[in-house]
Amino acid sequence: MTRRGTGAQRTGRSGPLGPFADDYVARLRASGYAARSVTSALRDLGRLSQWLEGRRLSAADLSKERLEEFLAQLPRRRGGGSPCSGRALGQVLEVLGEADEGSCRAGKGPASPSEVLLGSFERFLLQERALGSSTASAYVARVRRFLVRCAPNGGLDKVTAREVTGAVLQASASASANTTKLFVTALRSFLRFSFLEGLTPVDLSPAAVAVAPRHRSSLPMGVDQKTARALLRSCDRRQPKGRRDYAVLLTLLRLGLRAGEVASLRLEDIGWRGGEVVVHGKGRHEDRLPLPADVGGAVAAYLERGRQNGTVHREVFLRALAPIGPLGAGGISAIVRHACAAAGVPAVGAHRLRHSLACQLANAGVPLPAIAQVLRHRDIRTTTGYARVDIEGLRAVAQPWPGGEGQ
């Protein structure tokens, strides 16, 4: 059990984390924490610093796992909550300089050969392949699993086609077809990269066997207009959070954006005079879309009377509670789920609202090329699934059953 500290320990300015206390306070204030919360978080930093010191650990040894270990050993409050704010303490990892990896490596030796290789691969994906950061991170995470199995020291010259195929089979044994397909796609990309870089004597990417796709037989599904109205009514627009959620939902429904595209919208992407918005889509593509008046009004209401003043973040939609920052795609999806619960309708994901726009257009008789343009599909084949939504149109082109009527 962690003992209660005194003096400098209670102010968070002693122990291995003491030198970082001022930067920690500055980050908390910049993230929207109130003065009382900052004072409390600083005391928690002192307890964490004292805990590290008692185990003869330095600031460089602090990681996400050690932070979770510290929080787990604290005595629980009578109501069941933790006496420390894990979210606030998580900011110290960013202060220490390795937020993306969840650990601080300050003062440690150079990265392992495997991590250096993965870093090169990620730069290749971002710069040469123009993949989005989330997709590149997903690829790197799956390739890391492959390296742990087949090349833990980062050397690929001894890897065989049999080992590549074995890694795919192992992944497929404990995952769905879609998850395995992503693993194969990431692995093939990595093996082609490795061959081009001269790290493997032959191109091993064909050894990553393809996964048989599951053909979708169901119709694309959105939400009907009644459900859409219920979702919008569930937002209390008298409150800042409600104004934000209403603007997010209306943007998803009216523009058909992906969750990540809504999360990445920045203040400079909205052209108020021209009535248009710049959307940052897949593959770093940028598209300009008309900004409907109702969507623009909802976003303006949130910016004027919902978004925290003085924040340095340029993203349009931010978290309502500290730490103030961009929502991210997960936060956008969470808004949709919470709205479903508040409206008393079955839970759906943010992508279902994108389907809603496509289904409305298909039912209105809009041609597929026009729907593809609205949804910003690069391949018309991606859009053809929505042709099945127009049942009456399909009946008009259906061929008679062989054998005549009544068969």
Which residues are tagged catalytic? 258, 282, 351, 354, 377, 386
CA distance 195 to 186: 14
Determine what percent of the chain falls in helix, strand and coil, rounding each to the nearest 5: 55, 5, 40
Residue type, 203: D
First to last CA, the chain: 78
Q: How far is CA 103 from the centre of its chain?
A: 19
CA distance 93 to 100: 9
CA distance 335 to 5: 40
Calculate the alpha carbon distances from 373 to 247, 260, 379, 400 in Å: 23, 19, 10, 33
Strands (DSSP E) contained in 239-365 are 270-271, 276-280, 286-290
Which residues have a Cβ under 8 Å from the Cβ of 203 and sit 6 or more positions away? Answer: 191, 192, 195
Is the bond leading into 323 cis (omega within 30 degrees of zero)? yes
